[in-house]
Amino acid sequence: MQYDVTAIIQGYAQGYFLMANDGEDSLGWYSSRERALIPLNEQFRYPRSLQRVLNQNRFTVAINQDFNAVVEGCANREETWISSELKQIYHALNQAGFAYSFETWKEGELAGGILGIVIGGAFIGESMFFNIPDGSKVAMVKLVERLIERKFILFDAQMNNPHLERFGSYIIKNQDYKKLLKKAIIQPCSF
């Protein structure tokens, strides 16, 4: 099936995101009164125990080494908003240079990953998963380092949860999010 990648990216650029209702294949555009952001400055933090893991260099990092496996890993849960059609859309966005998997690997095995949409200087995190303990946590730290290095303005985590709060996530109102997003998408950043 062909997808209008331009229209989909325009939807994300206006502050919306695609989701399927659990157990259904029909997709819809959603927004939220509040958005969770991951800080791209000194407010980013992570558990002290994770520093030991990072110091051991047990994981290597890759981008799009196994995009499909990351999409499957993100969708592989009891309740998921990643329908089979949304998987196809992510694949189309990946082929067009907008969707990326940021991965951690350990001894040749996919340890964890983060799936996201990149528009200019905005990284819109869609989902994350792990196969090996600490795989997604290391991916989060290394992804933030990369986004800072590449001068990204925005890391949108969409919805907050206790796991993201451990990394310093914070909530902003939708109108403030849209202003920041508008500024971010015109940044000439290279992921």
The pLDDT of residue 24: 60
The pLDDT of residue 2: 82
The pLDDT of residue 1: 67
Coil, strand or helix at 52: helix
Residue 17 has a CB neighbour count (10 Å cut-off) of 19
Label residue 78 exposed, middle or buried (CB < 10 Å: 0-12, 13-18, 19+).
exposed
Q: How many residues does the chain have?
A: 191
Q: What are the phi and psi torsion angles at 136 (to 5°)? A: -75, -30
3-state SS, one letter per residue, for 115-155: EEEEECCEEEEEEEEECCCCHHHHHHHHHHHHHHHCCCCEE
What's the one-letter identity of residue 40? L
Q: Is 23 left (phi over 0), alpha (psi -120 to 50) or beta?
A: left
Coil, strand or helix at 110: strand
Instruction: Please report, in tens digits, the pLDDT of each residue of the chain (191 residues total).
Output: 688 999 999 999 999 988 887 556 678 888 889 999 999 998 899 888 899 999 999 999 999 999 999 999 999 987 777 888 899 999 999 999 999 999 999 999 999 999 999 999 999 999 999 999 999 999 999 999 999 999 999 999 988 888 889 899 999 999 999 999 999 999 999 99
Domains of the chain, by residue range, sit at 5-185
CATH number of 5-185: 3.40.630.70
